[in-house]
Chains A and B, each alone.
Chain A
């Protein structure tokens, strides 16, 4: 399976999924009109990785603002990871945000509430 790279735009984040490293990074704002279309390749990639790679998956997030359809898409990815975790696979996530952006922190906390795999929320100083 290949790596997945989706370039950043003013309304969509930079997405990079590295098959060998088992790391997905997402950075920036996410409020595209077509969130479901934007995130589908990533959701498919995560599904394939968790089914075939046999290695841990780490999600490294520096997302800033998300519209509600991006929130839904992120939830779908966290749910895929949660299922894998319950089957004994090693998955983890870290969401880093700037201290001034409290709203991002609150959103990350809400996602974290529904995940039982290691999920850390770090404040950038």
Chain B
């Protein structure tokens, strides 16, 4: 693979064409901070209300976006990965479903744990996901590390298709974890 020279100008038109082709409504790439999560969330809600989407559709997209962004942020803070760029995309697929995708840098072993958790959820139907949500809701506070541990289950409950995920190895024992939720 040839790496582009750093002096090559960024082809914004080509990037824009990818965004258009993939029907990307909103995209963020960079270190995630709390104020950014809030601002992008507000913009997303306003944009969707402008499209005259149903309040339920707006709520579902907003909710999955918030859970993903806050999961990424919490992990980055805990691992001191705050300067790592994460990516969050909101798009629509050919059938008109909203798709929320995100990727972030993780320690490879943490990525493996996440993949295992998601794979456990893939076998569950909506009733079983609801039961899993309620079980997790009552885990003792002492077993939680500042997070309710509900985000992934909640996303799986809202999704209309199984959660899609990947873990791609980077150097230094790290990996890029990607998650895609189709509503």
* A and B interact physically: yes
Q: Which residues of A contact B (CB under 8 A)?
A: 10-11, 31, 33, 35-36, 65, 67-69, 71-72, 75-76, 98, 100-104, 110, 114
Interface size on B, residues (CB 8 A): 28
Q: Is the CB of B55 within 8 A of A100?
A: yes
Contact of A65 among B62, B73, B138, B151 (CB under 8 A): B62
Known: A33-B70, A33-B73, A75-B138. A68 touches B150 (CB 8 A): yes
Complex interface bits, B49-88 against A, C-beta within 8 A gives 1, otherwise 0: 0000011100110110011001001100000000000000
Q: Is the CB of A102 within 8 A of B55?
A: yes
A124 smallest CB distance to B (angstroms): 13
Contact of A102 among B37, B56, B134 (CB under 8 A): B56
B128 contact set on A, CB distance < 8 A: none
A118 smallest CB distance to B (angstroms): 21
Q: Is the CB of B146 within 8 A of A36?
A: yes
13 residue pairs A–B, Cβ–Cβ below 8 Å: A33-B34, A36-B146, A65-B63, A67-B63, A67-B66, A67-B67, A69-B70, A71-B148, A71-B150, A72-B137, A98-B55, A101-B56, A103-B56
Other than the given A68-B148, A102-B55, 16 more pairs (CB < 8 A) read: A33-B73, A33-B74, A65-B59, A67-B66, A68-B150, A68-B154, A71-B137, A71-B148, A72-B150, A75-B137, A101-B56, A102-B56, A103-B56, A103-B60, A104-B59, A110-B130
B147 contact set on A, CB distance < 8 A: 69
Q: Which residues of B contact A (CB under 8 A)?
A: 34, 37-38, 41-42, 54-56, 59-60, 62-63, 66-67, 70, 73-74, 130, 134, 137-138, 141, 146-148, 150-151, 154
A33 contact set on B, CB distance < 8 A: 34, 37, 70, 73-74
- Ranked nearest first, the 4 interchain pairs of A and B with the lowest CB-CB distance are A68-B150, A72-B148, A103-B59, A69-B148
Closest to B42 in A: A10
B56 contact set on A, CB distance < 8 A: 101-103
Q: Is the CB of A101 within 8 A of B148?
A: no
